[in-house]
Amino acid sequence: MNTITNQIKLIGGMLSFMIAAVVLITVYINETSQRDSVVINVAGKQRMLTQRITKDVLWLQNGKSVEFGEIDASTAEFEATLGDLIHGNAERNIYAPPKSCIKERLLQVEGLWLRFRENLERFKGLISDTKRLRSGLQAENTTILEVSDAVVKEMVALGLEGRYIDDSGRQRMLTQKMALHSTQYLLTGELKHFSEFYDAYGLYESTLQGFLGDAALKRDATLQELLEANRVAWRHYSEYVRTLMEKQKEINDAVAYIKDNNMVLMDTMDSAVTAYTEHSKTQRRFLQYFQYAASIIALLAMFYSARLTWKIERHFEEFLKHSEAMASSVAPEEGTLPEAGVRGDELTMASMHMNHFAAKITAVLEHARQAIHASEQAARELADVSETMDEELEGLGLDEASKRDIDKTIDKSEDIAIQTLEELSGTSRLLEQLQRNLDTIISKTEKRG
């Protein structure tokens, strides 16, 4: 039933629901914003960690110290955070990827990181060995230079042909050329130094093998001893410097991989951060639209409630007029209506009018009771008169037809009296019911007032 009461309940329920929804959504937006901020921050920090790891790698490659504290800390943080981003971590307030595209990008980052980490660990192992080998490079170069110089001096002392003096002098130069390009390669990693080193290396070894196989040089025992010492020193130097150069090449390859894939890793991580940001924006935009919709609905409900209030006021005014007309419909016997200048609120005025009308109904009810009592008395008297007339008619000696006519007239009079009594009783009951209803209305309006 579409009553005003039901409409009020509907509007109240809608407004309550909208207010609760707006409050809950506002709380949810704030909570979501905080969580999104945490996730976007830690995901964004991953980009910085890739750059810091690469910077530390380059520093270790060209520096003198071999301390992995910072690079290990960055690596551990990157791996822990990546795992939290993929699987979620309630303790850090990091939620699992809300969309499949974000998870796919994080898994791409994980795949890139595994290969990146593999080269990083290889670099750390190689750099430790290389640093140890580098420390002996100067001494090894000095040793091979001294041995080569002794061979040159002995050949000069023996007065050998110029070609021997030239070749042995070139050996001395080649030791320094190898030292120069090996050092340059260790410092810069440029492949031209690697090539130049091995060119000098190959020429030195072939020249030394020529000296050792030359029969003319075997005639002098002292020179032969020096050449044998040169061979032993060269074998030791060759193993040492080739190991150092090969390890350095592996280091350079690892560093090159790290440098090249660092940007790939960072860009992929950056795309994941962008996806997180877009998801946060979309979610906030949806919640904001919901807030707008809820606000519009609440505003419409407010307008409707204002219209409903206006209708209630109009009905109250009509009710007040009807109650006033009811109170004025019967001339009062007791009490008076409020004066024209004396007014209260609608319910109070209606209660006063209903009280006044109830007083009139009470007076009418009392009159009805008195009428019933009078009717009952009249009926009893009519019955006594009927009995008396029956006795007197017997003494008059009337014929049967006259007696029947007189009896019918008396019976009709009794029926009229009885019917009147019954109607008065029914009217009295209706008036009593009306009075009870009015008492209920008056009681409620007085409580409301």
Fold of 135-248: de novo design (two linked rop proteins) (1.20.1440)
446, pLDDT greater than 60: no
> What confidence tens digit (pLDDT) does each residue in 7-27 have?
677 777 777 777 777 777 777
pTM over 0.85: no
Of residues 45 and 63, more confidence is placed in 45
Rounded Cα distance between 166 and 223, Å, is 16
**What DSSP string runs through 68-82?**
-HHHHHHHHHHHHHH
Inter-axis angle of helices 162-188 and 221-328, nearest 10: 10
3-state secondary structure of 399: coil
Rounded Cα distance between 339 and 349, Å, is 11
CATH number for 4-133+255-305: choose from 3.30.1360.170, 3.30.360.10, 1.10.287.1040, 1.20.120.660: 1.20.120.660
**Across residues 274-297, what is the average pLDDT?**
80
Q: Which two tokens stand for residue 127?
A: 């750099």
* Long-range CB contacts (within 8 A, 24+) of 79-85: 79/113, 79/117, 81/42, 81/43, 81/45, 81/46, 81/49, 82/46, 82/106, 82/109, 82/110, 82/113, 84/42, 85/39, 85/42, 85/43, 85/46, 85/272
pLDDT grade for 314, boundaries at 50, 70 and 90:
confident
Q: What's the chain's length in residues? A: 449
- Please tell me the predicted confidence (pLDDT) of residue 76: 94
Of 84-93, 196-205, 393-402, the poorest mean pLDDT is in 393-402
> What confidence tens digit (pLDDT) does each residue in 107-134 have?
999 999 999 999 999 988 888 878 777 7
Going from N- to C-terminal start, the domains of the chain cover: 4-133+255-305, 135-248, 346-448
- Name which of 134, 234, 245 is nearest 198 in CA terms: 245
> What confidence tens digit (pLDDT) does each residue in 201-238 have?
999 999 999 999 998 888 899 999 999 999 999 999 99
Q: Which two tokens stand for residue 232?
A: 């032993």
- Name which of 202, 222, 118, 216 is nearest 160 in CA terms: 216
Of 171-180, 181-190, 264-273, 354-363, the poorest mean pLDDT is in 354-363
- Name which of 153, 149, 158 is nearest 216 in CA terms: 158
CB neighbours of residue 365 within 10 Å: 17
354, pLDDT greater than 80: no
Q: Which two tokens stand for residue 174?
A: 């080649």
Task: Count H helices and E strands in the chain, helices first.
Answer: 9, 0
Residue 94 forms beta bridges with which residues? 89
Distances (CA, A) of 440 to 330, 335, 348, 444, 447: 21, 21, 15, 6, 11
Which residue type, as a one-letter code, is found at position 60?
L
Q: Which residue has the tokens 């090159």?
A: 256
Rounded Cα distance between 385 and 364, Å, is 31
- Name which of 273, 259, 276 is nearest 50 in CA terms: 259
